[in-house]
Amino acid sequence: MRICNEAWLTIYDANFSQSKYLYHFTDMEKFVKIIYGDSLKFSKISTTNDTLESKPKIFEWNQNTDNLYEIIKHFRDINQDYLQLLCFTQDIKKNSKVPAGKSFYIDYSGRGFALPRMWAQYSNNNTGVCLVFDKSELIRLIEKELGLSLIHHSAIKYISKFKHYKVNSDELNSLLNRINDYQNSRMQQGFADLGFLKGNLDFVKYNYFCKLDDWSGENEYRFLSYGESDYFIKDITDALIGVVVGENIEPANENIIKILCSNICEVNKVTFTYKGCQLTHLN
């Protein structure tokens, strides 16, 4: 079983590193599938709970309006059918000053596995689990599996509103021409789309790595890929550092998790009190 004491430090600890881990919240049923299948599945961007995610954010273009409408329609189709996400939570930034009344070694508030909203929203109201991953190893697995289909990965930038964004008209014109040339070949269109997205990182960051401030509590880190078929990242237990179970988890499910993880990683249970977030070691 993998033991990693650094994974269970508080953000006030001198040895804590904010950039080492990523967290994936899920319910019990999906967790069992993840462990048995030893894989994580990307999801289409059109299935996210933020309806703004899959809407193209193109506001200014110095070309004729008909072409602009055609480009926007094309990106709606891409967003609907081909762009896929794998989303995680991060730790908040390190805090070397312990607030008054706080004990740096027992309050885990601010850690990625200690965010109440995430437990409520993505872990079936505190009855599911949070998987703790080694970030560098997870990136290695994703890059190995997806290759050139991986467009970009980074933390989300949270903004108050989407403002006017002037896209590169030459690049979009070139893309439009290639789309028209390849209108009977989905594969060639795919290469054109992927080439545009990988070559226009500012466009990608603005459209797919910016979210409104209301979502900032998720402290998200995401991976964006392009493809029609579902992507599964294999051998994810190689990157799995630990599992945290919700405080309202059913006792039977808690025992199942301990059995499933007995030869893989540590299992801890989270508890929220007025004093902060606490962990109890289970295996």
Q: Quick check: helix, strand or coil at residue 56?
A: coil
Euclidean distance between CA atoms 279 and 270, whole angstroms? 5
Sign of CA dihedral 202, 78, 219, 133: negative
In this prediction the pTM is 0.90
Euclidean distance between CA atoms 150 and 233, whole angstroms? 12
Largest CA distance in the chain: 66
Give the strand pairing for 21-26 and 129-134: antiparallel
Euclidean distance between CA atoms 265 and 81, whole angstroms? 36
**What pLDDT, on the 0 to 100 scale, is given for residue 167?**
67
Angstrom distances, CA of residue 177 to CA of 58, 170, 186: 18, 11, 14
Answer yes or no: are the C-beta atoms of 133 and 241 closer than 8 Å: yes
**pLDDT tens string for the chain (283 positions)?**
778 889 999 888 878 888 999 999 999 999 999 999 999 999 999 999 998 988 888 765 555 556 777 778 888 889 999 999 999 999 988 665 655 555 555 789 999 999 999 999 999 999 999 999 999 999 999 999 999 999 999 999 999 998 766 666 676 677 677 666 666 677 777 788 888 899 888 889 999 999 999 999 999 999 999 998 999 999 999 999 999 999 999 999 999 999 999 999 999 999 998 888 999 999 8
Euclidean distance between CA atoms 126 and 110, whole angstroms? 17
